[in-house]
Chains A and B, each alone.
Chain A
Amino acid sequence: MKRYLTFLWDCFRLSFVGDWRYHAWMTVLTVITLGGVYAWCQQLVHGLVTTGMTDQVSWGMYIANFTYLVGLAAAAAMLVIPVYVYRNLHLHDVVIFGELLAVSVILMCLLFVTVDLGRPDRFHHLLLRFNFPISMLTWDVIALNGYLLLNLHICGYLIYCAYCGRKPSKAFYIPFVFVAIAWAISIHTVTAFLYVGLGGRPFWNSAIIAPRFLASAFAAGPALIILTLQVVRRFTRHQVSDEALFTLRRIVQVAMLINLFLLLCELFTEFYADTRHVASIRYLFFGLGEHRALVPWIWTALAMNVVATTLFMLPASRALKTLNLACVLAIVGIWIEKGMGLIVPAFVPSPLGEVVEYRPTLHETMVCFGIWAFGLLVYTILVRVSVPVLAGEVTYARRWGAHPKAESSSLVSASQPEPKL
């Protein structure tokens, strides 16, 4: 127990150690986070009127970001499956970064749901009357928190073992790894079912949403990991082989193709049949009358996804620069498509045919940036702490024998500026 507390204390201290770039990066993130806290506090005082949401469009950026981030959490599973199911050794050393990413991303998801609540002070009502299994939202609460705990356990256990200088016992984490793979699929499915289960929203009420969701998640997640691993490689002494990146590239290739194919299926069904239910998707792609707020966004997203898919397919993306470009395009394209493009059109037109457009306000944008900054902050700390610990530079045995030295040696492996998305 004492050793565990010491471990936590060391991790805490380690997260403050770094060169000026590390400190500058962390300061910027903290400032943006505090900006988000400020905006949220104002929202608590005045209510959700500070957002652009209305009775017609009752979910907006918060839920859009939530949906997208649930997808990103898949990154972990996409690293874990090759390593533990197919024994791919290239990814073995980097799988922990995927799991750490999952931890920070799920934290962001939970925050996005919390800021969307009108009465966060009544959060405990969830514990007192949990409408399980009828409400899909309760399934999502279980899925997300379960996934968070699983990943926390796996990462925490491995890092703690490295800290204690002992070999991790397989029985303590391998079963959890396999549960986490199934769980990763479940968080997407359950989150998709949140929307799919609503008969009154034809835009969502389609069986293809869950598979599309998985496909885009399995593209955006590993794409983000490709970028992250290069940052880790650049700023720490952790070894990341090019083969690891190219393995991920193959995964993204396939996922992007499936994603585009499923999109095609959906577009065909909606536009060829041309029933009354086409209104929402028409609003998304072509606008309804003078209401065209989402049109430029979705075409940008589509263009990005097509270009990214093409780049991933071409041998040119074996060059890291092209690969990174393709990854950025895929990440942003899917963010638009799976975020605003999936949530907002379902509310336009309203069930009674009224067209009310949604425009996010500065307030909710600040809250969103705040949560993203907080997520990056958490992820930076997790990576910053885990790299030296896993490398055996900071261990329990060494901590008071060669304590100051360990501290200063880890200075070298300091800052991890993240790509700003």
Chain B
Amino acid sequence: MADVNPVANHSQPPPGEAGVSRRQFLGQGAAVAAGLSALAAAMSPLRHLSDDDLPSVEEFLQKHYKEMTPADKERALERIREQVKKRYGVDAKVSDPPPLDGVEFVYGLNISRCIGCRKCVHACVAENNQSRSPEIQYIRVLEMEKGSIDLETANHHYDPDQVPRPDKWYMPVQCHQCANPPCVKVCPVEATWQEPDGITVIDYDWCIGCRYCEAACPYFARRFNFTRPEIPKDEINPNMSYLSNRPRSKGVMEKCTFCLHRTRVGQLPACLEVCPTGSRKFGNVLDPNSEVHYILKNKRVFVLKADVGTLPRFFYYFDERGSRYHEPITPDTKGKELKEGA
């Protein structure tokens, strides 16, 4: 192999007919030029990529959330603050509240009381800076036939003048924060995981957007940013955290985080606060004096799709004697509280 003739490396055609070779050369050159310009034309849409779409060097080198040092984290939070300022002109407070010791959050939903007004849906969108266009909502309220708990007969897009409608009952569904979460298992890059307080979170800066978790979720709880999310500047909620409601980019997953930027500092989730019927209960299940602890112990409780073995931290319960609030909610009072609250 060592006895290689140096000539072998040069593969020009034999000397001689220079005219032919020039014509050949020109022809080949033209072909190469045509090919390159066709490739450039094909790639021309890329000139519309905005600065926000391209990761900065800092973003590109940013570590996985769990590998960040406190200093790394501070830099990441600062970068997010700057991005929010640049994009929405808002001075945001971006924090990273840690899970609290001895806390495991659970959520209870009283289906005897829920009237299907969807105030929770909209409060959630406002609180968590979800995209308004295209609309992303974490909570889906199902209108069920009385006498049935069959999801396939549920109405997802009910729109009556008044709720509740007679002969219907309502079942809001959101992330169940499973103790055995299939979405976490499938993620190829560990961009989603379960925190010690039971909340499954996503590092939006790590997600590669393969949507395997969305396929794995039995509760339709995950949402994908199919395009760049749009939020009007004056509707931005400036109270943000890294793992929950900071603005997302296109191409990543997002989901309900039990409003961890609120609940980890002693507040209640936005969907609970807005609920006019008191159907929503939230708290630390490890605390024997908590309301959720009482409900789990004393009420009739069920979880959705117990057969898939996901062990949800979101459960449904009902009152023994079935009264529910029958104050009808009309279109003009719909969303009123929300505006007042904001």
The residue of chain A having its C-beta at the shortest distance from the C-beta of B152 within the complex is A353
Q: What's the least CB distance linking B10 to chain A, in Å?
A: 9
Are B45 and A42 in contact, CB atoms less than 8 angstroms apart? yes
B286 interface hit (Cβ, 8 Å): no
Contacting residues, chain B, for A31 (C-beta < 8 A): 38
- The digit string for B184-195, where 1 denotes a CB below 8 A from any CB of A, is 011111110000
Query: Contacts A199-B218, A200-B182: A125 and B206 contacting too (C-beta < 8 A)?
Result: yes
Which among B223-231, B234-242, B320-328 touches the partner chain? B223-231
A239-278 interface code vs B (CB 8 A; 1 in, 0 out) = 0000000000000000000000000000000000000100
Within 8 A of A (CB), among B31-77: 35, 38-39, 41-46, 48-49, 53-55, 60, 64
Bound complex: CA of A143 vs CA of B142, how far in Å? 41
Known interface pairs A38-B42, A46-B227, A121-B55; A135-B187 also in contact (CB < 8 Å): yes
Tell me the bound Cα distance from A55 to B221 in angstroms. Answer: 10
Query: Is A175 engaged at the interface, CB distance under 8 Å to the other chain?
Result: no
Q: Is the CB of A47 within 8 A of B218?
A: no
Cα of A399 to Cα of B8 in the assembled complex, Å: 8
B251 at the A/B interface (Cβ < 8 Å)?
yes
Q: What A residues does B265 contact at CB under 8 A?
A: none
Q: Chain A residues near B7 (CB, 8 Å)?
A: 400
Chain A nearest CB: distance from B192 CB in Å? Answer: 10
The smallest beta-carbon distance between A283 and chain B, in angstroms, is 11
Whether A332 is near chain B, meaning CB under 8 Å from some CB there, is no
Which A residues from 18 to 63 make CB contacts under 8 A with B?
30-31, 34-35, 37-38, 41-42, 44-49, 51, 53-56, 58-59
Given the contacts A119-B251, A353-B150, A353-B154, A34 and B38 also touching, CB distance less than 8 Å:
yes
User: Which one, A5-13, A93-101, A147-155, A316-324, is touching chain B?
Assistant: A5-13
Q: Which residues on A sit within 8 Å (CB–CB) of B252? A: 118-119
Q: How many A-B residue pairs have CB under 8 A?
A: 202
Query: Does residue B264 face the partner (Cβ distance < 8 Å to A)?
Result: no
Q: Is residue A350 within 8 Å, beta carbon to beta carbon, of the partner chain? A: yes
Q: Is the CB of A129 within 8 A of B251?
A: no
Size of B's binding interface in residues, CB under 8 A: 72
Contacting residues of chain B (1-38) with chain A, CB-CB under 8 angstroms: 1, 4-5, 7-9, 11, 13-14, 35, 38
By a CB distance below 8 angstroms, the chain B residues around A59 are: 211, 215
Nearest neighbor of B218 in chain A, beta-carbon distance: A200
Residue contact B220 to A129, C-beta cutoff 8 Å: no
Known contacts A137-B210, A276-B150; A351/B217 CB under 8 A: yes
| Chain B nearest CB, measured from A161 CB (Å) | 13
- For the complex, count residues of A whose C-beta is within 8 A of B: 69
Please, which residues of chain A bring their CB within 8 A of the CB of B308?
199-200
How far is the CB of B29 from the nearest CB of chain A, in Å?
A: 13
Asked if B226 and A352 sit within 8 Å, CB to CB, the answer is no
B224 and A198 contact, CB distance less than 8 A:
no
The residue in chain A whose Cβ has the minimal distance to the Cβ of B188 is A137
Instruction: Check if B142 sits within 8 Å of A352, measured CB to CB.
Output: yes
Distance, CA A379 to CA B65, complexed state (A): 42
Identify the closest chain B residue to A404 (Cβ). B14
- B309 interface hit (Cβ, 8 Å): yes
> Contact string, B91-120, partner A, CB cutoff 8 A, digits 1/0?
000000000000000000000000000000
Cβ-defined contact, A130 with B189, below 8 A: yes
Which of B165-191 touch A at CB < 8 Å? 173, 182, 185-191
Known: A13-B11, A41-B43, A41-B44. A135 touches B185 (CB 8 A): yes
Taking A51-B226, A352-B220 as given, write out 13 further A-B residue pairs in contact, using a Cβ cutoff of 8 Å, ordered by the A residue number.
Answer: A6-B11, A41-B44, A45-B53, A59-B215, A118-B224, A118-B250, A119-B249, A122-B206, A125-B64, A129-B189, A131-B187, A198-B215, A351-B218
What are 26 sample pairs from A and B whose C-beta atoms fall under 8 A apart?
A3-B4, A6-B8, A37-B42, A45-B46, A47-B227, A118-B250, A121-B55, A125-B189, A129-B189, A129-B190, A135-B185, A135-B212, A137-B186, A137-B212, A197-B186, A199-B182, A199-B309, A201-B216, A201-B218, A276-B152, A351-B151, A352-B140, A353-B151, A353-B152, A353-B154, A353-B156
Nearest 8 interchain pairs by C-beta: A118-B209, A200-B218, A118-B251, A353-B151, A47-B227, A49-B227, A353-B152, A137-B188
